[in-house]
Structure 1
Amino acid sequence: MKTGFRVALGMGLLAACAAGVIWALNVRDEVDVKITAAFAPSDSLIARGRYLTLAGNCMACHTARGGEPYAGGLGLATPFGTVFTSNLTPDANTGIGSWSSAHFWRALHNGRSKNGRLLYPAFPYTSYTQVTREDSDAMFAFLRSLPAVKQANRPHALRFPFNSQAALAIWRALYFTPGVYQLDAGRNAEWNRGAYLVGGLGHCSACHSPRDALGGIRDSLTLAGGLIPMQNWYAPSLASPHEAGVSHWDREQIVGLLKNGVAPGASASGPMAEVVLRSTQYLTHEDLGAMAQYLKALPGPAPEAPAAPRQASASFNTAKAAKLYEQHCAQCHGDKGEGVPGAYPPLAGNRAVTMAATDNLVQMVLGGGFAPATAGNPRPFGMPPFVLVLDDSEVADVISHVRTAWGNQAGAVTPREVNRIRANQGH
């Protein structure tokens, strides 16, 4: 009896200690919102805030399809359920009209709402915590200048236990550390500006990093590439030369891709096309150049030989695959995968074709797509969808062909892989 009591007491004390640690980790560097000051933004501060919200691509998530800008209501599918974005217009009851600049700063810096509730990391405060108070105030000034839209926030539809504050507190204790960006004294001002934009406002790691089963990102794998949850698109590594690393690119080539959505031999597609369309095309040449310098300096993976061709679980009919390519692809991409400069990207020697992850290739063949329409590329050439033209076996064959022809040395794709993505399109 005494032994059982001691065990129970020990477990209770252990649980209390764990709860105390979790609580402490969730209130570290907490912003004090009780101290308020008059907030009278100038026109220049509002204009700066508008620019910063474009850099953060805030409207893309906080605007429902067909809805008012920044009024929220967009459902973001996650492996744990759906998170609905909040109303950022200055409506006093449903938006941020009753918030102070300190409340807004705490949301970005600590991931807490006005009432103190923990926010779900679908709102990327794990990156936005790096944003400075000055930039936060500018963004708040811009959002408060918008027309107020009365639109109640929809409750999230998350499964238990992910819908509880306790589970969220544990997640934050494991994966979230608040902290404003600290300048690296060993780097120049431009590199530091690029690091701030990529790691903070740009929240590039939200897509370009692998996530574990709980949706967390390990710091050691930041920007190492990862499958975007629920979207079936792979955000390639920004460090690996075999994926989307740009250490060997010319600076202006990187700026051009972020500004226009296209660059010699490359184009933005899928979710990245949306980022260019709604965000990076509006950034200044100086800021894009800073991002380019930072991305060029990213440490690459340990030196290794290119991966050996991946062996598919089933071979493909090379003659049939070549015929399919001739019928459906060669007119745009060329008989030898050489592409058309300024219109259709080459497939020969294209690392978007040869990298190990094939999700994006399957997505493009099935659903088609366009590079973003930008001032520098107002009428982008597009890829037609073949979802109703080619079956799974034919899609697998034509992709296997382009991955193994013209000197490309990548593995084949199986019909099963195509079927997995086809079955999940639109979900």
Structure 2
Amino acid sequence: MTESFVPANYSFSRTLARVGAGLVLAASSALALAQGPTSDIVKQGEYLARAGDCIACHTQPTGKLFAGGRPMPTPFGTLYSPNITPDDETGIGAWTADEFYRMMHSGRSRDGSLLYPAMPYGAYTKVTRADSDAIFAYLRSVPPVHQPNRPHELRFPYNNRELLLGWRTLYFREGEYQPEPTRSVEWNRGAYLVQGLGHCSMCHTAINALGGSSESKAFEGGLIPMQDWYAPSLTSNKEAGLGDWSIADIADLLQKGTSKRGAVYGPMAEVVYDSLQYLSDDDVKAMAVYLKSLPQHGGESTNGKSAVTGEERNLLSQLGSKIYAAQCATCHGKHGEGKLPDFPPLANNQSIQMTSAVNPIRMVLNGGYAPGTAKNPSPYGMPPFAQSLSDEEVAAVVTFIRTAWGNHGTPVTAKDANALRSAPLY
């Protein structure tokens, strides 16, 4: 038997226990045949909904599961996620599986209206019909919540959905994932999850002024609009390129939230907490195999231009060295060597040296924890220093760690630090 790509591993076969004879056996067998597949597909749908991280947008932090209403700020105004519980009036209770698949595959709602691309249908279009049906079956099994959808608050002309026709022409390519015949089943499974349900490119590909992204720049990194976190390039050796990572380290980072090479914070911590930690070891490994295969290149030089002069840099580094010794060295080591697996190294750390200094500045200001996961239930965290360090002191310590121990990052300014003090804490 030749191997074939299977988007989801679910089986409708069940073993029927012997209950008795005659009508009793016939009735129990009929019941198992009727309910067994339904139970299996709902369970599979729950797993796939986790893979798609549906909860992140469709559940408010203190709200009911999938009842929607979560605000999603964009450069064009605020969108509010819809109710996707099986309530007939305010949710998707009256939807059919065909209508749900059209929404996933084509980015159109039940009434045919175009969806705004905050719903990642550009990625979900790759999801197979079988997987879409499983997710739909699961969503229909959750408790219905009667909660009317909140209207979007978009500025003119972005509140005109007809303009999405032009956007879709430029940036949307409809079609299910097509396996690459020259690649392994495992690689194809990883590609399906990363490109489709995982919608990883939504953050790790730069977004332009129209809210679109270029396939030619997929996974090359970019600033996440309105969140002020930088999603690093997965293809650049100067950022988070994974070419020299082991499969095990990539898988650990995705599933545990921490590995020998580093830890996740900010929006990626939420992805691991809500989604990736629940995936099977085989699926996480498949994603790691695919991600490691992404073409690697040198990327943009980390030695970018800086507004800081040589003398200012020396003064910042001297001040930063003192702050580091007093506040940071206990955990990260005198020479930035770190203390694995709890405290990541800062020396020769690609994420510290990237052209964008947004992430290290935010970590110093706001601190953070790696997500608590089944395989790392009690992560260590970093305290915030926004209240105890001035803008100049934040700039000094970030400049120090970006340029010490052979690191090749550029200095940052007090203005850079101040600009991120009001960034949203999520």
Name the TM-score, length of structure 2 as normaliser.
Answer: 0.89
- Among candidates 125, 129, 135, match of residue 131 of structure 2: 135
User: Aligned-pair distance for 1:312?
Assistant: 3.4
Partner of 2:404: 405
1:77 maps to 2:73: yes
Q: Is the 8 A contact 1:240 1:300 kept in 2?
A: yes
What whole-Å deviation, never above 9, does each CA across 1:327-378 have from its counterpart, x for those lacking one? 1111111111111112111111111111111111111111110000011111
Moved over 6 A (4+): none
* Mapped pair 1:257 → 2:253: yes
Equivalent of residue 209 in structure 1, options 199, 205, 209? 205
Q: Secondary structure at the match of 1:340?
A: coil
- 1:362-401 paired onto structure 2 within 5 Å: 362-401=361-400
1:129–1:178: 8 Å Cα contact kept in structure 2?
yes
The residue number in structure 2 matching 1:45 is: 41
**In 1, Cα distance between the equivalents of 2:375 and 2:188?**
27
Question: What is residue 323 of structure 2 aligned with on the other side?
Answer: 324
Counterpart of 2:264 in structure 1 is 268
Contact 1:210 1:221 in 2 (8 A): yes
SS at match of 1:423: coil
Q: Secondary structure at the match of 2:90?
A: coil
1:355 is aligned to 2:351? no
Residue of structure 2 equivalent to 1:97 = 93
Between the aligned partners of 1:308 and 1:393, the Cα distance in structure 2 is 22
| 1:122-165 deviation digits (Å, cap 9, x = unpaired) | 01001000000000000000000000000000000001111102
Distance 1:63 1:212 in 2: 27
Aligned mates of 2:424, 2:60 — CA distance in 1: 20
The one-character-per-residue Cα deviations of 1:255-309 (angstroms, maximum 9, x if unpaired) are 11111001003001111111110101111111111111111110123x5795436
Determine the C-alpha separation between the residues in 2 that align with 1:97 and 1:220: 39
Q: Which amino acid aligns with 1:143?
A: L
* SS class of match (1:206): helix
Look up the SS of the partner of 2:82 in the other structure: coil
* Counterpart-to-counterpart distance in 2, 1:192 and 1:115: 34
Paired residues of 2:249 and 2:261 also in contact (CA < 8 A): no
2-structure distance, mates of 1:115, 1:308: 52
Q: 2:238 aligns with which of 236, 242, 247?
A: 242
Q: 1:309·1:409 contact (CA, 8 Å) conserved in 2?
A: no
Rounded to whole Å, the distance in 1 between the matches of 2:187 and 2:197 is 15
Structure 1 equivalent of residue 337 of structure 2: 338
Alignment match, 1:224: 220
1:214-273 Cα distance to aligned partner (Å, 9 max, x none): 010011001110100100000001111221121111111111111100100300111111
- Counterpart mapping for 1:129-168 below 5 A: 129-168=125-164
Question: Cα distance, 1:180 vs. partner?
Answer: 0.5
CA contact (8 A) 1:312 1:411 kept: no
**Matched residues in 2 for 1:338 and 1:293: separation?**
28
C-alpha distance 403-252 of structure 1, shift in aligned 2 (>3 A):
same
1:280 is the counterpart of 2:269: no
Counterpart Cα distance in 1 of 2:102 and 2:79: 20
Q: Is the Cα–Cα contact under 8 Å of residues 310 and 410 in structure 1 kept in the other structure? A: no
CA contact (8 A) 2:257 2:373 kept: yes
Contact kept, 8 Å, 2:58 with 2:68, in 1: the verdict is yes
What fraction of aligned residue pairs are identical, expressed as a percent?
A: 50
Read off the aligned partner of 2:247 and give its amino acid letter: R
Instruction: Using the TM superposition, give the Cα deviation of residue 313 of structure 1 relative to its aligned residue in structure 2, in angstroms.
Output: 3.1
Task: Identify the range of structure 1 (363-372 vs 320-329) with the bigger mean alpha-carbon deviation.
Answer: 320-329
Report deviation, 1:65. Answer: 2.2
Could you list the per-position Cα deviations for residues 71-124 of structure 1 after superposition, in whole angstroms to 9, with x for gaps in the alignment? 100000100001100111000000000000011101100111111111100010
Aligned residues: 388
Separation in 1, partners of 2:96, 2:389: 55
CA distance in 1, matches of 2:93, 2:240: 41
CA distance in 2, matches of 1:174, 1:78: 19
Which AA in structure 2 matches 1:100? Answer: T
Counterpart-to-counterpart distance in 1, 2:167 and 2:119: 14
Structure 1 residues without counterparts, runs of 5 or longer: 1-38
